[in-house]
Chain A
Amino acid sequence: MSHTFVGMPAFPDAAKVALVDTQLRRNLAHATKVIRTKRNGVVGELDDWQELRLAGAAIKDRALRHLPDYLEQFEAAATAAGATVHWARDGDEANQLVAELVRQAGADEVVKVKSMATQEMGMNEALAEEGIAALETDLAELIVQLNDDLPSHILVPAIHRNRAEIREIFLREMPSAPPDLTDEPRMLAGAARQHLRRKFMSAKVGISGANFAVAETGTLVVVESEGNGRMCLTLPETLISVVGVEKIVPTFADLEVFLQLLPRSSTGERMNPYTSMWTGVTPGDGPQAVHIVLVDNGRTRALADPVGRQVLRCIRCSACLNFCPVYERTGGHAYGSVYPGPIGAVLNPLLNGVDAGPVEKSLPYASSLCGRCFEVCPVRIDIPDLLVHLRGKVVDSTRDRSVPTAEMLGMRAAAWTFDKPGRLSAVQRLAGLGRRMLGEQRTSLGPVPFGAASKWSRARDIPLPPKESFRQWWHRTRGKGGAA
Chain B
Amino acid sequence: MKVALFVTCFNDTMFPESAKATVELLERLGVDVDFPTGQTCCGQMHINTGYRAEALPLVRRYVETFDGYDAVVAPSASCAGTVQHYHSRIAAERGDAALRDGVANVAPKTYELTRFLTDVLGKEDVGAYFPHRVTYHPTCHSLRALELGDRPYRLLRAVRGLTLVDLPEREECCGFGGTFAIKNSDVSVAMGADKVRHVRSTGAEVLVSADNSCLTHIGGILGRERSGVRTLHIAEVLASTERAAGTTHAEQPAESARWKGRPEQELAGQEVTHP
Name A residues whose Cβ lies closer than 8 Å to a Cβ of B. Answer: 11-12, 15-16, 19, 325-326, 329-330, 364-372, 374-375, 388, 390-396, 407-408, 411-412, 414-415, 417-421, 424, 427-428, 431, 443-444, 446, 452, 455-463, 465-466, 468-471, 473-475, 478, 480-484
Contacts and interface: CB of A to CB of B under 8 A. Distances in A.
Contacts of A428: 12-13
Contacts of A374: 144
21 contacts: A15-B187, A330-B187, A368-B177, A369-B140, A411-B54, A415-B57, A418-B40, A419-B61, A421-B40, A428-B12, A455-B182, A455-B185, A456-B182, A456-B185, A457-B220, A459-B192, A461-B224, A469-B16, A478-B35, A480-B34, A481-B37
Given A391-B48, A459-B221, A484-B38, A466 B16 contact: yes
B184 A484 contact: no
Q: Which of B17, B140, B186, B223 has the largest number of chain A CB atoms within 10 A?
A: B186
A201 B177 CA distance: 52
A440 to B, nearest CB: 9
Contacts of B40: 417-421, 424
Contact of A482 (B37, B41, B184): B37
B46 A11 contact: no
B49 A395 contact: yes
Given A421-B40, A469-B16, A456 B191 contact: no
B181 interface: yes
Nearest to B217: A460
A414 B46 contact: yes
Given A368-B175, A370-B140, A372-B144, A474 B191 contact: no
A247 B266 CA distance: 54
A19 B186 contact: yes
A367 B180 contact: yes
A364 B190 CA distance: 19
Given A368-B180, A459-B224, A468-B16, A391 B49 contact: yes
A388 B47 contact: yes
Interface string B1-28: 0000001010111111101100000000
Contacts of A372: 140, 144, 173
B264 interface: no
B46 A415 contact: yes
Q: Binding site of A, secondary structure by majority: helix, strand, loop or mixed?
A: helix
A326 to B, nearest CB: 5
Contacts of B180: 365, 367-369
Contacts of A365: 179-180, 183-184
B37 A471 contact: yes
A473 B38 CA distance: 15
Interface size class, chain B: 35 or more
Interface string B56-69: 01100100000000
Contacts of B216: 463
B104 interface: no
Nearest to B48: A388
A325 B12 contact: no
A458 B184 CA distance: 13
A415 B223 contact: no
Contacts of A11: 184
B37 A474 contact: yes
B145 interface: yes
Contacts of A475: 37
Contacts of B176: 368
B252 interface: yes
Given A368-B180, A483-B37, A418 B220 contact: no
A443 B12 CA distance: 18
B45 interface: yes
B172 interface: yes
B240 interface: no
Nearest to A394: B50
A473 B217 contact: no
Given A388-B48, A390-B50, A460-B189, 8 more contacts: A325-B191, A366-B184, A369-B48, A371-B140, A455-B183, A460-B224, A466-B16, A471-B35
A375 B223 CA distance: 32
Q: Which of A368, A417, A421, A469 has the largest number of chain B CB atoms within 10 A?
A: A368
A415 B191 CA distance: 29
B241 interface: no
Contacts of A457: 220
Contact of B191 (A329, A418, A419): A329
B88 interface: no
B188 interface: yes
Contacts of A395: 49-52
A471 B34 CA distance: 12
Contacts of A407: 49
B152 interface: no
B37 A463 contact: no
Given A419-B40, A474-B37, A370 B221 contact: no
A275 to B, nearest CB: 32
B144 A375 contact: yes
B131 interface: no
A68 to B, nearest CB: 28
A364 B186 CA distance: 16
Nearest to A411: B51
Contacts of A19: 186-187, 190
Given A12-B184, A443-B252, A463-B216, A411 B46 contact: yes
B178 interface: yes
Contacts of A474: 35, 37
B220 A463 contact: yes
Contacts of B46: 411, 414-415
B138 to A, nearest CB: 12
B112 to A, nearest CB: 15
A12 B180 CA distance: 10
